[in-house]
Amino acid sequence: MSLPMPWVQRIFDKLTVTFGRDFLGRWEGLDINTVMEDWADELAGFQQTPDAIKYGLEHIPSDKAPTVQQFRDICRKTPQYLPKALPAPTPDPALAKAVRQAFKPVAGYGDRAWAEKLKARIDSKEIRPTMYQREAVAEVLGREPTGDA
* Residue percentage of the chain with pLDDT more than 90: 56
pLDDT digits (tens, 9 = 90+) for 58-83: 999 988 999 999 999 999 999 987 78
Q: Is residue 137 part of a domain?
A: yes
Longest dimension (CA), the chain: 88
Contact 26, 65 (CB under 8 A): yes
Answer with the one of 76, 107, 123 that is the final residue of a domain: 76
Q: What pLDDT was estimated at residue 106?
A: 65
Q: Is residue 109 part of a domain?
A: yes
Distance CA 133, CA 115 (A): 9
pLDDT digits (tens, 9 = 90+) for 67-124: 999 999 999 999 987 788 899 889 899 998 888 888 876 665 667 888 899 999 999 9
Distance CA 133, CA 148 (A): 11
Q: What pLDDT was estimated at residue 149?
A: 47
The parent domain of residue 115 ranges over: 93-141
Domain count, the chain: 2
Full-model pTM: 0.54
